[in-house]
Structure 1
Amino acid sequence: MKGGKSKSDTRNAKLSVNKKPAKAGRKSGKAAKDPNKPKRPASAFFVFMEEFREQYKKDHPKNKSVAAVGKAGGEKWKSMSEADKAPYVAKAEKRKVEYEKDMKNYNRRQAEGTKPEEEEESEKSMSEVNDEDDDEEGSGEVFFLGMF
């Protein structure tokens, strides 16, 4: 090429233009999830799919496609009457009641657990402040003694 930038230079310049700089002061992503928090219950359709997947695998052992299983399950669910869906709806409601009970217990434990932790942190903070004061006084004495 005559005088100017090579192709790789312009390509690198284009790539660097498309990058977005990180914004300072923002939190990245979502807050961390608590592993002890109960999982949400499955809907009636997903309760149905649990059983449907097993049956589908028995009927179609060579099929490895997850999409095919999902598509067949969705079609079957749509074609079912409300009476056919009733057992799955009942199971989903039962799971929902259990989930709500577990969430109440979880929230109660969280409320009880946060109070002692806050007190411990405040005591720790106070001791750290006192330790820093002691260090400053001690370093002043060493500095003073070091001069004479």
Structure 2
Amino acid sequence: MKGGESKAEATSTDQRLKTRGRKPGKKTKKDPNQPKRPPSAFFVFLEDFRKEFNLANPNNKSVATVGKAAGARWKSMTEEDKAPYVAKAESRKTEYLKTMQQYNMKLASGTNRGEEDDSDKSKSEVDEAGSEEVFMQEEEDDD
């Protein structure tokens, strides 16, 4: 075959394309207590722009239209116009880094792990274990 791959070459390519390090369908669980990442300067700008745009266009229900208009305005803005949004984004980022550091300290000390271990055990498992102990005690009392 001219220019075609052999079966050995095709399978090696398939092996490289597979996800590495985890099985398909298995996702890592995200901690709900983990702080959310801070918004970029554009998203800080977008918060204000949405309010203005919705006041100017009350009948617009399209999210895409708002996003396109915001993107066009952001591109046309000068660095001086963007400066307040960049400053807000930087302050939010520093706050995020502080809260993330506190969060990591909590994880390192293990305060969250104890709560998760207790919540993983279902009440039925706890009840079954407790009822087995009671059952065993009753048999000993009967003897």
What is the TM-score when the length of structure 2 is the normalising length? 0.61
Q: Look up the match of 1:50.
A: 47
Q: Look up the match of 1:146.
A: none
Question: C-alpha separation between the residues in 2 aligned to 1:51 and 1:41?
Answer: 16
Which residue of 32, 37, 41 corresponds with 2:29?
32
Q: Look up the match of 2:60.
A: 63
Q: Look up the match of 1:109.
A: 106
Question: Does the aligned pair in 1 maintain the 2:35–2:100 contact within 8 Å?
Answer: yes
Structure 2 alignment gaps of length 5 or more: 1-21, 119-143
Three-state SS of the structure 2 residue aligned to 1:74 is helix
Question: C-alpha separation between the residues in 2 aligned to 1:52 and 1:74?
Answer: 10
Alignment length (residue pairs): 96
Deviation at 1:115, TM superposition (A): 9.7
Quick one: structure 1 residues 115 and 79, their matched pair in 2 at CA, closer, same or farther if it must change by over 3 Å? closer
The code of the aligned residue for 2:91 comes to K
Deviation at 1:76, TM superposition (A): 0.1
1:31-70 CA-to-partner distances (Å, cap 9, x unmatched) read: 0110100000000000000000011000000111100000
**Residues 67-146 of structure 1: matches in 2 within 5 Å?**
67-113=64-110, 117=114
Deviation at 1:113, TM superposition (A): 1.1
Task: Report sequence identity in percent.
Answer: 58
Structure 1 alignment gaps of length 5 or more: 1-24, 122-148
What is the TM-score when the length of structure 1 is the normalising length? 0.59
Task: Pick the structure with greater CA Rg.
Answer: 1
